[in-house]
Amino acid sequence: MKKETDKPKGFNAAKKKAKKILDDESKLKFLLNSAIEKAQHKKVRLKSVWTEVQTLFRLVKAWKKGEYTQVPWKTILYATTAIIYFLNPFDIIPDFIPIAGFIDDIGVFGFVINSLQVDLQQFKAWEEVQKESK
């Protein structure tokens, strides 16, 4: 994990919201569905982090379903925090400001993806085993 001081501006506020949402299965499901839908609409702008963002979504979804449990709580918290930040229209640089707003979102996704690199690789390996066993 990266140091606390390396976190993007606004990350801690989103993290507080993530803690609450992770306690409520219906809110988490709504959050994931909303993020997946927004990401599909912004796929071109998210091109540089698209694959990793999709992995984050799958990780949280698999954890929520109880399918993938070998993941640290902090990993789920950070992934959910990035999703909240992505959906929040009042983030540090709003998305309606062309290009800059999505650079802000990409920066947060990048921070989280870099922080969780080992856990994301382990999750992808787990996914491969699941595919092979079907």
Tens of pLDDT, residues 52-88: 999 999 999 999 999 999 999 999 999 999 999 888 7
Q: Is 101 inside a domain boundary?
A: yes
What per-residue confidence (pLDDT) applies to 104? 57
Closest of 78, 84, 86, 77 to residue 22, by C-alpha = 77
Q: Is 21 inside a domain boundary?
A: yes
Q: Is 4 inside a domain boundary?
A: no
Give, in order, the Cα–Cα distances in Å from 47 to each of 22, 25, 33. 27, 29, 19
User: How many structural domains does the chain have?
Assistant: 1
Q: Is 134 inside a domain boundary?
A: no
Domain of residue 84 covers 17-128
- Global pTM value: 0.82
Q: Is 113 inside a domain boundary?
A: yes
Q: Is 60 inside a domain boundary?
A: yes
* Distance in angstroms (rounded) separating the CA atoms of residues 132 and 69: 19
Q: Is 11 inside a domain boundary?
A: no
* Distance in angstroms (rounded) separating the CA atoms of residues 89 and 98: 13
Q: Is 12 inside a domain boundary?
A: no
